[in-house]
Structure 1
Amino acid sequence: MTLTLTNIAKTFPGGTKALLPTDLEIAKGEILSLLGPSGCGKSTLLRIIAGLEIPDPGASIVFDGDDVTHQSVESRKIGMVFQSYALFPNMSVRSNIGYGLKMQKLPKAEIAARVDEVIGLCRLEPYADRAVTALSGGQKQRVALARAMAPRPRVLLLDEPLSALDAALRNHLRDELALLLRQFGITAIFVTHDQDEAMAIADRVAVMSQGQVAQIGTPEALYRNPATGFVARFVGDAMPLEGRIERAQMHLPGGVLTLPQAGDGQQVLVRAGDISIDPQGPITGRVETVTFLGTHYRIALSGVMAGPLFMLHAGLSAPKPGDEVRLSIPPEALLVLPMEMAA
């Protein structure tokens, strides 16, 4: 199902603009992530699509040619998965999944067939007759997905579906969620503040900032070609370099870097993974801290610029705090972007 959003905005009583006019086109079967920090408008946009919030006048929400802007939540035929899962603790897995179908007064045989179908899709057969209170966080997530999918919704909306889980489980279920959504083949939109989650699951990511979409594209496009410093910082943790730009050079306290292009009136950012220790490197820094992270070390450096600079080092050993090191950054790894106005 295609989803077309036109001029979607939300102003709350008192004049607070939670969402500025936004247009989005989501293709049939596409998985789109709304990614951004708290308060950027992503959950407001999701709730407007669901019918839980009323947009400002002039908005248009169209599902496959059907204008649902003024339709109720029930008539929009959407599936929703909430952060808390919102499962009924006194019901079995099977009863939870079938509850919405029962409310629709479908024939018992059809309810049973649909429940069996999504139980199979979500690999819940061993748990079908268990109480949901006896399930792990990951199993509960699959029940919530199955319940949302059982009524065969036109679009699936997920609001921070993994944020209630601990870090280790979240990483595992992130991949499982991506697989399940693609098996369903349904148009899906999910809200997250976690860039790894968005990039692992979504076909496209809409990065949101201050009530509007800052940039939309595939995870690769956003990472390799961010349009603004905000997007570069949010997708890939790019760090602004603090120095003086003259033509195609950046002058830092620790040395001079060659830029891929003239950078007058612009800002320069770099990612920690693009900085390397190089005895012939053009800049010098002092090691302040070294953190071992299994596959690599994270090193904090001083002296390169006024503030700290972080790098990732993949060697079998790392320099020690207090060591002076020479560093290099390939010019093509430097992100030269327009200077942002202060908020």
Structure 2
Amino acid sequence: MTLTLKNGSKTYPDGTVALIPTDLHVQPGEIISLLGPSGCGKTTLLRLVAGLERPDKGAEIWFGEDNVTDYPVEKRKIGMVFQSYALFPNMSVRRNIAYGLKMQKLPQAEIDRRVDEVLSLCRLEPYADRAITALSGGQRQRVALARAFAPRPRILLLDEPLSALDAALRDQLRDELAGLLRSFKITAIFVTHDQDEAMAIADRVVVMSHGRIMQIGTPEELYRNPKSRFVAEFVGHAMELSGKADGRRFVTEGGTLELSEDGTDKSVFVRAEDVRIDPQGSLTAKVEGVTFLGTHYRLTLSGLGRERLYGQHFGQSAPSVGDDVKISINPSALMLLPKEANAE
């Protein structure tokens, strides 16, 4: 099922603009993430698609060839998974999944068949007769997904589905959620503020800020080719280098870098994983801090500009605080963005 949003916007009675006019097209079976900080408009967009909010005049929402703009939520035939999962604690797993099907007044044989189908798909057969209160957080998430999918919705909407879990479990279930969504073969949109979650699960990511879409692309496109300061900093925590470009040379306080293209009137950004200690490096910096993170050391570096820079160091030992070190950055790792993007 395709989803098309045309000129979708939302202004509340007090004048607050939650979403400026926005267009979005989602292909059948595609998994889309709405990514951004709190208040960026991602949940508002999801609620417009769901029918939980009315868009401003002039908006159109299409499910395939069906204009659902004026449909109430119960007629849109969507599935929803909330942060809290909203499961019935007094019911078994099987009865939770069957609830929506009973509301559709389906024959009991069809209800049983669909419940068995999603129990198998979500690997919940061993827990079918258990109470919700006897399940782990990950198992409850699977029940919520199974219940949302059992009525065979046209589109599945997920609002921060992993945020209620602790960090370790959230990381563990990220890949599981991606696998389940793809096994459903259904168009899905999920809201998150976690870039790792968005990039691990989605086919395409919609990065939002202040009620508008900043950039849409695959995780790789957004990471490697951000179009604005906001996207560069939000997706991958890119850092701006202080200095001045002179053609394909970039001069900083700590030395000169080669650029892959003319950097005139551009801002230069780099990510920590591309800032490396190298005895042959062209930059000189001072180590201000060292943090051991298991797979690598995170270095805080000064002497390269107004702001401190972070780098990664792999090895059995790291430089000491106060050491002067040589730094190299591959020109291909530097991101050149228009200076006007600084306004983001």
Could you tell me the TM-score, scaled by structure 1's length?
A: 0.98
In structure 2, list runs of 5 or more residues that go unmatched.
none
User: For residues 278 and 97 of structure 1, what CA distance do their matches in structure 2 show?
Assistant: 57
Aligned residues: 343
Could you tell me the TM-score, scaled by structure 2's length?
A: 0.97
Q: Are 2:60 and 2:69, in contact at CA under 8 Å, matched by a contact in 1? A: yes
Cross-structure match for 1:27: 27
- SS of 1:100's partner is helix
- SS of 1:86's partner is coil
Cross-structure match for 1:175: 175
Cross-structure match for 1:318: 318
For 1:208-219, what aligned pairs fall within 5 Å after superposition?
A: 208-219=208-219
- SS of 1:222's partner is helix
1:228-275 superposed Cα distances (whole Å, 9 cap, x missing partner): 111111111111112223332222221122222222222110000111
| Deviation, structure 1 residue 291 | 1.2
1:114 and 1:82, CA in 2 relative to 1: closer, same or farther beyond 3 A? same
User: For residues 72 and 243 of structure 2, what CA distance do their matches in structure 1 show?
Assistant: 54
1:14-67 superposed Cα distances (whole Å, 9 cap, x missing partner): 211110111111000000111111111000000000000000011111111000
Cross-structure match for 1:287: 287
Q: Are 2:229 and 2:342, in contact at CA under 8 Å, matched by a contact in 1? A: no
AA aligned opposite 2:43? S
AA aligned opposite 1:254? G
Cross-structure match for 1:241: 241
- What's the C-alpha RMSD, in Å, of the aligned pairs? 1.1
| Deviation, structure 1 residue 341 | 4.9
For 1:223-262, what aligned pairs fall within 5 Å after superposition?
A: 223-262=223-262
Q: Are 2:132 and 2:140, in contact at CA under 8 Å, matched by a contact in 1? A: yes
User: For residues 62 and 197 of structure 2, what CA distance do their matches in structure 1 show?
Assistant: 27
Cross-structure match for 1:84: 84
User: For residues 104 and 153 of structure 1, what CA distance do their matches in structure 2 show?
Assistant: 12
User: For residues 308 and 42 of structure 2, what CA distance do their matches in structure 1 show?
Assistant: 31
For 1:323-338, what aligned pairs fall within 5 Å after superposition?
A: 323-338=323-338
Cross-structure match for 1:342: 343
Q: Are 2:7 and 2:22, in contact at CA under 8 Å, matched by a contact in 1? A: yes
In structure 1, list runs of 5 or more residues that go unmatched.
none
Cross-structure match for 1:38: 38
User: For residues 169 and 133 of structure 2, what CA distance do their matches in structure 1 show?
Assistant: 18
AA aligned opposite 1:152? R
- SS of 1:171's partner is helix
1:63-86 superposed Cα distances (whole Å, 9 cap, x missing partner): 110000000101100000001101
- SS of 2:181's partner is helix
- SS of 1:319's partner is coil
